[in-house]
Amino acid sequence: MAVSSGDMMISILQQYTTLSTSSPREDVSGALNAIMTAKHLDPETRKALTQLILDDLRATLLDNTISRFAKDDAPLALSTVKSLGSTPEVAGVLGTESNLRCLLNLSTTIESSQRNDALRCIANTVLLNESARITFVGQDVGGGNVCVDLLQQSSSTEHTFLACRILFLCTATASSAAPFIEWLVEHKRPNVPGSGTIVDILRARMDDLGGRLGGGNRAAKEAMTDMLKLTFNICVHYPKLVGCEIQNPRISGPDAEHKIMGDFWSSRLDGLLPPLLRAFHANLSSSGNPLETPLPHVIHSLITIPVSPATRNSWFGLQPSRASSHPSPPDSASSSSSASPSSETQLPAFRETKSRLLERASSVLSAGRRSLSRPSRSPTVPDSALRAYGLLDATLAYFMPGDIDSDDISIRNRVPEGESLDDLVSPLMILITRFCLGDEDAKCRIRDWFIPSNLDRTSPLEKRSDLLGRCLRLLQSLYHSRLNRLCGEMFFAMCDSDATTVSGYLGYGNVAGFLFHKGVVSAPTKLSTSGAPTTTPTGLPLNPITGMIEEEHDPINMTDEEKEREAERLFILFDRLEKTGALAPSENPMRKAMQQGKLG
């Protein structure tokens, strides 16, 4: 006779509750394995079993009182709790103060091989149950302090990953995590050099993990990713919670009450910039994709940090004066097989040299404690603007080879599963835009790399198979709406945030849609103050609409074929303006001409 699922669940629950201290070990393991392999356990049964097993773990390992199993059965029992805890209902059970304290005590008292399962139970609980995050870092449980200790002291990559995962989740929501975030940044810990806070711990561990990322070390990559997510939370939330310095001089009055990421900063977080830049300049990719994880998470954190006179040398190194020529950009990725064109010019960040190993070893505080000393400063600081330009060039060349249209479906097929080109590339464009807005010299260098004075303007700029052409095609994209907007903002920033200047450099036709959405509804008039070129270096005039060399035509001598080609060119141009919203259909002269039969 068939057994109903309800009877099976009752039998599984009864099988466990009938166990006693005298039960044979095979009965205990049989009951626990039956729970882990059971399908479709109802929520109430899962919750009841979770609490029973956790109570027995507490009795066996912490209280040394009567339990259903012996210490040798604890690893399997803890794995069973982890298996049961994969639902929000069970996370609610594990998320109570008593149960979180039990799991935390298990993670600090049992053997290292079992500790990870206890930490994973906590990580899963705070992932599925937001209220458990507040409970876990509260004074009654004190889980945040334990995780920071683990991050500081353990050399295990797995422990680093789990500690960072838990801390990242517990700092995800500023409104509920505000007291904990402030405590993290401001609480000074013993035996930690520097400020003695989480900033110094993250700085040291980031460099340490960076040295393990080579050879496709997946565990180190996962740990680094979650450490960077934690770093981002701290950088984006802490300046909004405390009194801090305004970084944007245009912010005053009521605007100062609504803190925007990157416009406010606290000097308490300054120590995070050097290790983030070392990670940014390191070649972390083991595939053809230049923006392979964890590099996007590095960029996420970097865009929260202001580009200011105080930090410019950290960002860009010692650059030549404005009067001298700007360094040449890396070779275009369209003509280079290198995934990271500028990698050869950057610091060998994270590479453990013999001298650095000796320096780290000499500053170990005590046996078993990791060194938290500040890495030695290289005499040469690489240019982050050049690195960002090279990364964007290589990334778009990888996903948009040749002169492919920005909305071609093959681009989406090349992006890693679960991601989009918008998500992947947007932070890098934001970073370049922030460079342009935050530093005059960086802006000029970036503009010279994108739009050099000797740019070939004999063919349409948007058809080029280089970074400029790809960005201009993204500027017309319908599918990649975020990159469409961010490309415009990037070009606008590098062209002095001036509509006339950006039109002069790129041609009004290429930026008309973007400018329309910024409130510029007609082609800007020429201004003598604009630094945009009106001619080539050899004196040939530029067409203000296309940005190409102006070709003189004698309308009287034009053949019918030439007139047809010119009409086709104008039709394409006005059609583009119409699609981007810069021109209403009723105002399109080519459409009017067709309707009136003048083009027939």
* Tokens (6 digits) for 342: 């500028």
* Same-domain check for residues 122 and 163: no
Q: How many CA atoms lie within 13 A of 152 on its CB side?
A: 24
* Same-domain check for residues 160 and 128: no
* Same-domain check for residues 126 and 162: no
- Category of 142 on φ-ψ map: left (φ > 0), alpha (ψ -120 to 50) or beta: left
- Category of 402 on φ-ψ map: left (φ > 0), alpha (ψ -120 to 50) or beta: left
Tell whether the model's pLDDT for residue 199 goes beyond 70. yes
* Same-domain check for residues 120 and 28: yes
pLDDT of residue 380: 79
Does 303 map to a domain?
no
* Same-domain check for residues 11 and 84: yes
pLDDT of residue 214: 75
* Same-domain check for residues 187 and 98: no
Does 583 map to a domain?
no
CA angle 591/595/596 to nearest 5° reads 115
* Same-domain check for residues 26 and 110: yes
* Same-domain check for residues 154 and 204: yes
Does 111 map to a domain?
yes
Between 203-207, 232-236, 241-245, 375-379, the lowest mean confidence (pLDDT) is in: 375-379
End-to-end CA distance of the chain: 83
Is the distance from CB of 533 to CB of 453 less than 8 angstroms?
yes
| Partners of 245 in the β-ladder | 265
Task: Write out the residue range of the structural domain in which residue 20 sits.
Answer: 7-141
Mean pLDDT within 339-357:
36
Mean pLDDT within 470-484:
95
Mean pLDDT within 199-206:
95
Q: Give me the percent of the chain exceeding a pLDDT of 90.
A: 59
Tell whether the model's pLDDT for residue 5 goes beyond 60. no
Q: Band the pLDDT of 243: cuts 50, 70, 90.
A: confident
Is the distance from CB of 171 to CB of 181 less than 8 angstroms?
yes
* Tokens (6 digits) for 395: 């990334």
Q: Give me the percent of the chain exceeding a pLDDT of 70.
A: 82
Is the distance from CB of 327 to CB of 342 less than 8 angstroms?
no
Give the residue carrying structure tokens 């249209």: 405
In this predicted model, which residue has the larger pLDDT, 376 or 557? Answer: 557
* Same-domain check for residues 114 and 20: yes
Give the helix/strand (H/E) hosting 245. strand 245-246
Secondary structure (H, E, C), 302-317: HCCCCCCCCCHHHHHC
Q: Which amino acid is at 94?
A: L
Q: Which amino acid is at 531?
A: G
Q: Where are the alpha helices (DSSP H) in 171-311?
A: 174-186, 198-210, 218-241, 273-281, 295-302
Instruction: Give the tens place of pLDDT for each residue, 59-87.
Output: 999 999 999 998 899 999 999 999 999 99
Q: Band the pLDDT of 10: cuts 50, 70, 90.
A: low
Is the distance from CB of 77 to CB of 117 less than 8 angstroms?
no
Domain count, the chain: 2
Mean pLDDT within 40-47:
92
Does 185 map to a domain?
yes
Does 80 map to a domain?
yes
Instruction: Give the tens place of pLDDT for each residue, 497-531.
Output: 999 999 999 999 999 999 998 888 777 776 545 67
CATH number at residue 13: 1.25.40
Q: Give CA separation, 326 vs 143, 419, 437, in Å.
A: 51, 36, 18
Does 315 map to a domain?
no
| Residue where a domain stops, chosen among 220, 241, 268 | 268
Average pLDDT value over all residues in the chain? 84
| Residue where a domain stops, chosen among 79, 109, 141 | 141
What is the distance between the alpha carbons of residues 429 and 486, in angstroms, rounded to a whole number? 7
Tell whether the model's pLDDT for residue 410 goes beyond 80. yes
Tell whether the model's pLDDT for residue 111 goes beyond 80. no
Mean pLDDT within 275-303:
91
Tell whether the model's pLDDT for residue 345 goes beyond 50. no
| Residue where a domain stops, chosen among 95, 118, 141 | 141
Residue 555 burial (10 A CB sphere; 0-12, 13-18, 19+): exposed
pLDDT of residue 7: 54
* Same-domain check for residues 123 and 153: no
Is the distance from CB of 58 to CB of 97 less than 8 angstroms?
no
Tell whether the model's pLDDT for residue 366 goes beyond 80. no
Does 559 map to a domain?
no
Does 22 map to a domain?
yes
Mean pLDDT within 92-112:
92
* Same-domain check for residues 137 and 171: no
Q: Give CA separation, 240 vs 178, 180, 186, 265, 383, in Å.
A: 10, 14, 15, 8, 29
Q: Band the pLDDT of 576: cuts 50, 70, 90.
A: confident
* Same-domain check for residues 169 and 87: no
